[in-house]
Amino acid sequence: MNDKTALALRKLKDNDGNYLWNQANDTILGKQVIISEYMPDIETGTKPIAFGDFSYYWIVGRKPVTVRTLLEKFVLYDQIGYLAFEYLDGKLVRNEAIKVIQMADAGK
């Protein structure tokens, strides 16, 4: 979730009046919360929260890392430049490990 979503969730309480968000260690119901600005805001039709076991999202290196030395570009500054490439791929290997909250569309 992003910061705006986290702010909205920090206000939620259970039936006994206790906050669901534990401010001491940033958890909800004992589960750690990770903030990412790449997650969308809470709006109709978006998926602002992903919850689950992210250890089932695997990242694999597809090709070895390659490094190039750039001597000519930085010769006037008495420097050496390096350019590295790494090709990665990622996939959720167990679909039931992570669930996302889908916000309802307006009018439905």
For the beta carbon of residue 88, count every other beta carbon within 10 angstroms: 9
One-letter amino acid of 41: D
Per-residue tens of pLDDT for the chain, all 108 residues: 999 999 999 999 999 999 999 989 999 988 899 999 999 999 999 999 999 999 999 999 999 999 999 989 888 999 999 999 999 999 999 999 999 999 998 665
Q: What local confidence, expressed as pLDDT, does residue 29 receive?
A: 83
Q: What local confidence, expressed as pLDDT, does residue 108 receive?
A: 55
Those residues whose C-beta lies under 8 Å from the C-beta of residue 84, and which sit 6 or more positions away, are: 65, 66, 67, 68
